[in-house]
Amino acid sequence: MASKKIAFVASPHEEAQDAFSRLTHRYGNVDPADADAVVALGGDGLMLQTLHGQLGTDRPIFGMNRGSVGFLMNDYSEEDLPARIEAAEQTTIHPLRMRTEDEDGNLHEALAINEVSMLRETYQAAKLRISIDGKTRMEELVCDGLLVATPAGSTAYNLSAHGPILPLGAQLLALTPISAFRPRRWRGALLRHDACVRIDVLEPGKRPVSAVADHQEFRSVRCAHIEEAANISLHMLFDKDRNLDERIITEQFLP
């Protein structure tokens, strides 16, 4: 691995920038377009940004935690980094593709690695209709929002909304309500990974809703179509004792 080229990227925080300076001095640095692997220094937010930046390249990304949570990151160490990357296990994930139409008829498209969220924009609750694979499953959900999460994203916003944690190999998506008011006891659903989800906004003029794919937001949408982008693969590298499958299992047994 010593002969391979590494690109380093870092968040703007001081801790990440200090690590960037030390590692690039020690191992050199190339443009991500010329790299065999990208090392991301920061937290989960930077990892998501880096994954989005590498869409379509098949270039693996090895994250090291210089942020706060760091669920998607490996532990930070400056020693033997090329050998560590060479020995790492690769996890391949597929993002979600979101297509929306807003109140003016404009069409938007974005990819989400963690989740797609439908969120109310005002003090009034959103009213949503949910269809799966062309069949209406819920005529009206009154809520603060609704999200569709991938297994990789199931421990993020989805978990905070009391959604299920999904093992990577489960080939499922989590459909999770956010503060559901009616039906009050509905806790969401598990869907096949290849399900096509359509969410229609009821009363969009009175109860405006935003559609958010990870960090990309489109406001005042009328409907959203969400499905797995099976033709797009993203590759993350993890230390053998810290792979993503193990972390997802461990997260389910935390007190």
Strands (E), 11-87: 37-42, 61-65
Laid out side by side, the sheet with 115-120 consists of 189-192, 172-178, 145-149, 115-120, 209-213, 216-218
* Residue 69 banded pLDDT, cuts 50, 70, 90: confident
Q: Which tens digit of pLDDT belongs to each residue from 163-198? A: 999 987 789 999 999 999 999 889 999 999 999 999
Q: Which of 54, 64, 66 is nearest to 92 (CA)?
A: 54
Name the one residue in this structure whose structure tokens are 């994203």: 153
Give me the catalytic one of 18, 31, 34, 44. 44
pLDDT, one tens digit per residue, over 17-59 is 999 999 999 999 999 999 999 999 999 889 999 999 998 898 9
Residue 71 clears pLDDT 60, i.e. is over it: yes
Question: d(Cα 14, Cα 165) in Å, to the nearest integer?
Answer: 32
Bridge partner residues of 212 (DSSP) = 117, 217
DSSP 6: E
200 catalytically annotated: no
Q: How far apart are CA 95 and CA 63, in angstroms?
A: 18
Burial of 195 (0-12, 13-18, 19+ CB in 10 A): middle
Helix (H, G, I), strand (E, B) or coil at 9: strand
- What are 213-237's pLDDT values in tens digits? 998 999 999 999 999 999 999 999 9
How do residues 107-135 score in pLDDT, each as one tens digit? 999 999 999 999 999 999 999 999 999 99
Instruction: Quickly state the pLDDT bin for 3 (edges 50, 70, 90).
Output: low
Is the whole-model pTM more than 0.85? yes
Average pLDDT, the chain: 93
User: Which pLDDT belongs to residue 2?
Assistant: 46
Distance CA 1, CA 5 (A): 8
- Phi, psi (rounded to 5 degrees) for 67: -125, -140
Instruction: Label residue 99 exposed, middle or buried (CB < 10 Å: 0-12, 13-18, 19+).
Output: middle
Mean pLDDT of 73-96: 94
How much is the pLDDT for 56? 84
Neighbours of 39 (CB within 10 A): 26
Task: State the CB neighbour count (10 A cutoff) for residue 79.
Answer: 7
Residues 6+ apart with CB under 8 A from 230: 94, 194
pLDDT over 50 (residue 1):
no
